[in-house]
Amino acid sequence: NAKTMKYEDLVQAGIVDPTKVVRAALENAASSASMFLTTEVVVAEKPEEKKEKGGMPSMGEEY
């Protein structure tokens, strides 16, 4: 226990978790959960179809 400068069982002393660590863990868990929930509504552009080029290939192009 840093406050009393004694070695003791932190659960019995009432010191279970640092508040900042628990808060960060909960925020990260909520962020991950919201990403999983919104994954099915991701919008993406459809790729354009490439048109075939006509005519003779230039010098150096292989078939």
Return the HEC string of 2-61.
Answer: CCCCCCCCCCCCCCCCCHHHHHHHHHHHHHHHHHHHHHHHCCCCCCCCCCCCCCCCCCCC
Residue 58 lies in a domain: no
pTM (predicted TM-score)? 0.38
Q: Read off the pLDDT band of 13 (50, 70, 90).
A: confident
For residue 24, the tally of other CB atoms under 10 A from its CB is 11
* Model confidence at 57: pLDDT above 70: no
d(CA 10, CA 30): 27
Residue 53 lies in a domain: no
Residue 28 lies in a domain: yes
Residue 54 lies in a domain: no
Residue 57 lies in a domain: no
- What is the span of the domain harbouring residue 27? 1-41
Residue 52 lies in a domain: no
Q: Kindly state the DSSP code that residue 63 receives in the 8-state scheme.
A: -
Return the H-helix or E-strand segment holding 1: none
The predicted structure's pLDDT at residue 29: 92
